[in-house]
Structure 1
Amino acid sequence: MKKLILGLLLSLSVSLAYSQAPKYRLSSHILDISTGLPAQNVKVKLEKLNETNKMWTSIDQQETDQNGRIGNFLEETKTEKGIYRLTFLIADYFKNKKTESFYPFIEVVFQIKDNKHYHVPITLSPYGYSTYRGN
């Protein structure tokens, strides 16, 4: 009987942990189109514009994972509407690949206007990049 109760309690605690996992409003992805592979270990800074004094405030900084992704920027419950900037620090990425590149970093400025999820990816090569709003 004790094993059954312990099993039920463990199951309940796991279910509660999953139901309370935070959700995020913003994600990003970097695809290196010169290789066709995701860009791993790229530092990406997130900032928000203070529209009163026109200064940028640092929100977060993370690195892309083995799939070139960051999936956990801006926790849903704490996200404010406004103008944001992602800065992709790509100089070290190309340096580590022993590849010359033109851009030391890429800034993408965008506006969050509602409570939807925003996915802001870039496709990247040593001498160019492109961005769009994904989903």
Structure 2
Amino acid sequence: MKKLFLSLLLSAYCAMAQAQTHQLSSHILDISTGKPAPGVTVKLEKQDEQRKTWSLLDSKVTDENGRIKDFLPYPQAGKGIYRLTFLVSGYFKAQRTESFYPFIEVVFQIRDNAHYHVPITLSPYGYSTYRGN
């Protein structure tokens, strides 16, 4: 029984690992409404550590659940310093809400090949971020 359980657990883990095609995802939750923030453009950049310049890698829009699931496909993924820029001004304008932040930049470091989830919680006058899973 124990071997069967471990075998099933290992199979589930391998299936999840195989399904993971992108190294980075993000999510925006508007805590002033308690709902996700759809339609927000998010830019992904990587820093050239020698020149200290940024290169645009991708730009995507959050889905109806406030999510972007497919930044950094694994062949392109790698260690380094990255920046996500959340262009929230348009989102708040669409909500007819005044906001203090026209955009939010989150700089973080990828140190291995693990999956990284970098979400923000958002309100018109504040935000927070953390490394999720």
What is aligned with 1:64?
62
TM-score, scaled to structure 2 = 0.85
Aligned residue runs from structure 1 range 2-17, under 5 A: none
Question: Over residues 26-76 of structure 1, what are the superposed CA-to-partner deviations in whole Å (9 max), with x where a residue is unaligned?
Answer: 000000000000000000000000001100000000000000000000001
Describe how 1:1-135 pairs up with structure 2 within 5 A: 23-135=21-133
In the superposition, the TM-score normalised over structure 1's length comes to: 0.84
Give, in whole Å, the separation in 2 of the partners of 1:70 and 1:123: 14
One-letter amino acid of the counterpart of residue 120, structure 1: V
Cα shift at 1:22: 7.1
**Moved runs in structure 1, 4+ residues, more than 2 A?**
none
Q: Deviations over 1:60-107 (max 9, x none)?
A: 000000000000000012212000000000000000111000000000
- Unaligned segments of structure 1, at least 5 residues: 1-19
- Superposition RMSD in Å: 1.2
What's the % identity of the aligned pairs? 69
Bigger Rg, structure 1 or 2: 1
5+ unaligned residues in a row in structure 2: which ranges?
1-17
Q: Secondary structure at the match of 2:56?
A: strand
Instruction: Give the aligned length.
Output: 116
Where 1:93 maps in the other structure, the secondary structure is: helix
Task: Give, as a single letter, the amino acid of the residue that structure 2 aligns with 1:115.
Answer: N
What one-letter code is carried by the residue in structure 2 that aligns with 1:94? Answer: F
